Structure 1
Amino acid sequence: MTAASELDPARTALVLVDLMERIVALPLEPRKGTDVLFAAEGLAAAFRAAGAPVVLIRVERPGVAEQPPGSGFVQGLRREGDIEIVKRTVGAFHGTPLDERLRRRGVRTLLFGGIATNMGVESTARAAADLGYGLLFAEDAMAALTEAEHEASVRLDFPRLGTVVRASEVAFAAG
């Protein structure tokens, strides 16, 4: 597995899950949604500056005429050139073009952040592992509905799938 300090921007993508107004506003643990968003925005800026893809994933409820208020990305998160994926299941690979779009760009490593750690993030990460991607998890760019749920993913599950890091540890390899 690639260490966080050795990321290749040509082969690494940032995947941010469900950073939507209504989800960021939920009571979350071990940190507030606004804290998750702050860390995620910092990572997104670093990835964009390095020329690495930023993938923004949001959920839409299937079979409803209108999505609930706050179902868009938090204002200011999306930038021109970002990859936007709309999922209709817990994870973002099933029934979406995510894998195809990543492979077309030569991406082999994914760095995850988002809400909820144990739901959308973990489900998407498990599918990514099954598809052969190398995985990194920015622990401080995630939260869940309870601290116990977040900790179970971060301490028990994610280390079996990849490497858990802090956002401040993420850097790209020199030239």
Structure 2
Amino acid sequence: MPLRRLASWFVIVAAAAVCGVRPRPVPQKLEATLAALPVDTTDAGDEVADEVITIDWRLLSTLDVRTGAPGDSLRKLVGRRVRVPGFIVPLEDFQDRAKEFLLVPYFGACVHLPPPPPNQLVYVKMRGTTPLSWWAPVWVEGVLRVITVKSIYGSAGFQMDGERITLYKERG
């Protein structure tokens, strides 16, 4: 089993080396495959709940990894609905559907040692099982919490109650 895991991550690292680690446009074929992502089930009458704040990894990095204290700007977003870009790292081999996964800032982030620091890992727990794309960049929306969650790939400094996943597209 460890040999199988090593082989699968070797393929991912090789693909990252060939393709680079920046988010790239999603191929049309993959976009069609992932078109059936979960819909947001938030109560439409609640205007505050409908507000989704887009954040980036620079803001998440303001979490002090020694003390676990969030920076001032980050503290204001804890418990709110946010949207974060990144790549999915399944917590089991060869998953195409999952309820739990890690969100990382760049492709292949958890396949090397040491893993990224806790302020660069978000443990996501979706409301239901969702299709996963661990080759393409995505936006993950949900309620952000500052909670340490340990996994086989490292300790995440954040937990997100995931509500929706959409394919990443650059603004332009």
Whose Rg is larger? 2
Q: TM-score, normalised by structure 2?
A: 0.30
Q: Return the structure number with greater strand share.
A: 2
